[in-house]
Amino acid sequence: MSNDKDDKTPIASSEETSPVTKLGDDNHVITTKGFSGPVPPPDMLHEYENVLPGAAERIFILAEKNQSASEKITYGVISNDKEKIRYSFIVSIVSLIVPFAPAAISMYLGQNPFLSGGLGIIGAIILILLPKIGARPEVDSSTE
């Protein structure tokens, strides 16, 4: 027949156990449990289920909804980036063709060389300034 005071075997979790501390005649073990990720480990799920029947299923449903929302956000960011890249490509092609095509046609037809050169220079200036015009203003992170 054993009583609780004579039983010196500590009960501890397999997660993380701190050293045994001696306080008088009793041994004490401090145990902490933790997990990372959307779903707790099976033993912890079982404990939730014991406290509230159906809790484990609710935890899984919550984790699935969280994952689905995260995937939707990621998909939205990726598709937004694709649209920005496509728009930038079209704008750069148009800004390249619009000023240089008349300059090339003017040179081919033997028109005024100043007209051809002027159109070419305007096209070069547009190509240089276009990224600066369309760029977002930089945010100074030191003031935030």
Which residues share a beta bridge with 28? 21
Question: Is-contact 87 104, C-beta < 8 A?
Answer: no
More confident residue, 58 or 139: 58
pTM score above 0.75: no
3-state helix, strand, coil in the chain (%, to 5): 60, 5, 35
CA–CA dist 103, 96 (Å, integer): 11
Sequence ranges of the domains in the chain: 16-134
Q: Residue 64's pLDDT is what?
A: 93
pLDDT digits (tens, 9 = 90+) for 14-53: 445 455 555 556 677 787 777 777 888 888 888 888 888 9
pLDDT digits (tens, 9 = 90+) for 76-94: 999 988 888 888 888 778 8
Which residues share a beta bridge with 26? 23
Question: Taking the CB of residue 18, how many other CB atoms lie within 10 A of it?
Answer: 11
Burial per residue of 90-126, b for 16 or more beta-carbon CB atoms within 10 angstroms, e otherwise: eeeeeeeeebbebbeebbeeeeeeeebeebbeebeee
- Packing angle, helices 55-108 and 42-51, rounded to 10: 120
Q: Which residues contact 8 (CB under 8 A, 6 or more apart)?
A: 27
